[in-house]
Amino acid sequence: MLRQAAGLTAAIFFALSVSACCCPSAGSYACCEKAPRGFVHVSEAVPDVILEIRYHTTYNFAGERIDGYEKPEALLTVEAAKALKAVSDDVMKQGYRLKIYDAYRPQRAVSHFVRWAKTDDTRMKACFYPNLDKSVLFPRGYIAEKSGHSRGSTVDLTLFDMASGKEVDMGGTFDYFGKESHPDWCGNPETQQYTGPFPGSAKPSGGKINAEQFRNRMILRTAMMRHGFKPLAEEWWHFTLADEPYPDTCFDYPVR
């Protein structure tokens, strides 16, 4: 416990000592080479997390390393990191660790996604958008010119089971484009009731998830919301600190 507290203290000291650099407004972007003030490395603030930063690898929907990910690190604002530490402590009591796929995302990475969306490269279609034509990804909002991740208080993550040594089965992979990734797929997140493969009255176009997979999504969702994060309606893995310090500011400092 003392080691973890010392790690968070050191991380906060680092965050407060670096230079500030931000976009002048929500509608414009500045290329910021200096670290934004109040950002920390998640692995220092939350020592028990596991990092699998997909955009530093070629295993992502674009099939290539994404601009701005110079190192396989995760950065967050101090406020988001503190809240995530509380989540980590919570789920560890239940036998899980947090596994992070992405956190702060520089604007140059978002721009990379936009450029990719305009190409005819579909090498990763079978893994991440098998039921969608690539041409609809941008119009339907799967790819956008702005991302909440660039504000520094959003994280994409899952649970890792300490007993089995494996990721918890969520019934679908991170960054899967489709309704199957919605938290309400086959269930009601508000009541946490599993409703089966045909939620509501409409028959889904994709596959179903089982009751255990839905429950696993709810374990993550409950822990994140308990400690101040709000979910996204389209992605079970995506959470943003409700009281984020930079709600109207984006950053472009590389992940390093």
CATH code of 191's domain: 3.30.1380.10
Is 188 in a helix, a strand, or coil?
A: strand
Nearest alpha carbon to residue 227 among 3, 53, 46? 46
The pLDDT of residue 200:
46
Q: Which domain holds residue 138?
A: 2-11+40-241
Within a domain: 175: yes
The pLDDT of residue 18:
40
pTM of the full structure? 0.87
Within a domain: 29: no
The pLDDT of residue 57:
99
Within a domain: 251: no
Within a domain: 50: yes
The pLDDT of residue 206:
54
Strands (E), the chain: 39-41, 50-51, 75-77, 96-102, 154-161, 166-167, 187-188, 193-194, 229-232, 235-241
Mean pLDDT by 10-residue block, N- to C-terminus, for the chain (256 residues)?
A: 44 42 46 76 98 99 98 98 99 99 98 97 98 96 95 98 98 96 96 78 60 98 99 98 95 94
Say how many domains are in the chain.
1
Within a domain: 115: yes
- Catalytic residue ranges: 235
CA distances from 140 to 136, 143, 181 (A): 6, 8, 14
The pLDDT of residue 196:
87
